[in-house]
Amino acid sequence: MFSFPDPVNDNAARIVATWVVVLSLIIIFTKENLLVYILFYGFLARVLTEPSLSPIGYISMKFIAPKFGPPKHVPGIPKRFAQAIGLAFASSVLLLSLITSTSEWEYYTVSYNIILGTLTLFAAIEAF
């Protein structure tokens, strides 16, 4: 359970990255903190158990990626590193959302959007 596949299906990895782009953009535009928890959990689950405990990873690997043809295998270690970097960004966003109150939110919005925007940019580079 706590292993990372090597090699990984690049099609599934790109689909997961697309999900991250969409989820991050929704968070940026709606400021819905519940979605930050989902983003954080997804990265944590993919770093620890890729994709067995990650709903996005599991759905992408089992149901969506097969529709794009045969798997394209790539080394898993760089993908796990990318997931760990995403976890660091998602952790930062989660921490910012936890330490701010409603009255202080405007002071953290710029940092919050910069971190999420950077995460979205990296995920978009992976996805597209």
Q: Is residue 4 pLDDT above 80, yes or no?
A: no
96 close to 112: Cβ distance less than 8 angstroms: yes
Q: Taking the mean position of all CA atoms in its chain, how far away is CA 93?
A: 12
pLDDT per residue as tens digits for the range 31-57: 888 999 999 999 999 888 877 788 898
pLDDT per residue as tens digits for the range 55-65: 898 899 899 99
CA–CA gap between residue 53 and residue 42 (Å, rounded): 8
CA–CA gap between residue 76 and residue 101 (Å, rounded): 39
Spatial neighbors of 48 by CB under 8 A, at least 6 apart, are: 2
